[in-house]
Amino acid sequence: MAGILVLFYSALLTLVIAALALRAALSMLRHPRHREGLGERFGRVRPDLAAAVAAKRVVWVHAVSVGEVLAASRLVKELGEALGEGWEIVVSTVTQTGQELARQRFGADHVFYTPIDFGFSVRAYLNALKPEAIVLIESGVWPRMMHECEKRGIPVMVANARVGDKSFKRALKMRGLWSRVLRRATLWLAQSEEDARRLVEMGVPAERVSVSGNLKYDIRAPKESELTTRLRKLIGSRPVVVAGSTTAAVKPKGHNDEEDFIVGSWMRLQQEVSEALLIVAPRHPERFGVIENYMYQIKGVNASELMFYEREESHFSDVKVLCLNTIGDLASVYSLASVAFVGGSLVKRGGHNPLEPAQFGVPVVMGSSFENFRDIVGKMQAADAISIVEDKDVLAAEFARLLSDQEAARAMGERGRKVFEEQQGATKRTVDVIVGRVNR
């Protein structure tokens, strides 16, 4: 039965890829960068990666995109230190943005694109890397990879595991089928008791599930980036609103992307705090140009009010809106904020990590879509350390309140910092489990 299911899955995956092939080919013709990593995805192992792991014992960590790379950053560092000499940690990602950040954090020769979940491409990497364990970050489940690892006796551990509402409902509808896949993982290290309960209800044996905590409580921004240092000097004492990880609407209808809400709120804010600076950091780089045009054409922002960071800085005092068009700087730029808005939450995207600004004692505002971070937001709400808003009118009022009442903003930010500090420790617990497993 297991073999039949894997064959069915591979056939279905082939049909999906064939359906997407034409679209992908057109995209690659228009955007050469989209061709990056294509050979790796189909099983080509780069020579520098093979050389980096030669004669070494290997742990393969898989992180889908930027969020998972950030969650894995401290884990990879501490796991490498705990395992010591003779070991190498390699990291794979699916997205280009995740790849760029991973290369910055772990070194290009230790980072690669995740192979498409076909037998031949997965086996190519298993043969080359010979990993003694694979660690999947958060919720990535790869049936063919897990099948191939099970045949070779390679333990697969899912760290920082979480189960979103939609995933949970879908899994319960197909429990008989889906549980066969989930059971192939050796261990599930859940973020919370609720995630652990859901995993068991989905069919994972209870003895394979434990709660290790959320790795994202252990994320600390790296050393202040060069960009942040430059901006700090330019900004001076101006109040700053940083809107991070903003995203497009799920089903665009007119101008209802998150930036529409943000800029609308900012324009209202200008009437009360005219010297305020708005820094917008979109989640996806391909939207940088879209946002620039949107700011100019839709909201009527003057040319002097919009500045990408690498442009002329001599008139920075005239800049009202700054669009951050870099990868990996947002975590550090949050430290400049008087107030932070965390995106993916005013549109139904499930939200992003509010701890990134909270670690700096910055008061945090989010929309009501935070399903992906329910446990974190819940703890912050219990500590009165976050403000949840429903629409752009309330958002504008909340920005104005927190910028004008500095004492209340400072107190709220400190409560958020305290939540961040009190919940740490997941990385050590996860490292201990992984080391214990590979040293058996």
Q: Please name the residue that has the structure tokens 């999906």.
A: 16
8 A C-beta contact, residue 83 and residue 438:
yes
Instruction: Tell me which of 68, 78, 100, 259 is the catalytic residue.
Output: 68
Q: Which residues lie below 8 Å from residue 67, measured CB to CB, with a gap of 6+?
A: 138, 352, 353
Q: Token pair of 156, please?
A: 């697969």
First-to-last C-alpha distance (Å) of the chain: 30
Q: Give me the phi and psi of 79, to 5 degrees please.
A: -65, -40
Look at residues 218, 240, 202, 190 and name the one whose alpha carbon lies nearest to residue 71.
Answer: 218
What distance in Å separates the CA atoms of residue 137 and residue 125, rounded to the nearest whole number?
18
The single-letter code of the amino acid at 310 is: E
Taking CA atoms, 337 is separated from 16, 48, 309, 359, in Å, by: 43, 40, 16, 12
Q: Token pair of 391, please?
A: 């629409």
Look at residues 144, 207, 202 and name the one whose alpha carbon lies nearest to residue 178.
Answer: 202
8 A C-beta contact, residue 257 and residue 343:
no
DSSP 346: T
8 A C-beta contact, residue 76 and residue 90:
no
Look at residues 178, 170, 171 and name the one whose alpha carbon lies nearest to residue 146.
Answer: 178
Among this protein's residues, is 68 annotated catalytic?
Answer: yes
What distance in Å separates the CA atoms of residue 61 and residue 69, rounded to the nearest whole number?
10
Taking CA atoms, 168 is separated from 207, 364, 377, 426, in Å, by: 20, 28, 19, 23
Q: Please name the residue that has the structure tokens 């993982």.
A: 185
What distance in Å separates the CA atoms of residue 341 and residue 84, rounded to the nearest whole number?
40
Q: Enumerate the active-site residues.
A: 68
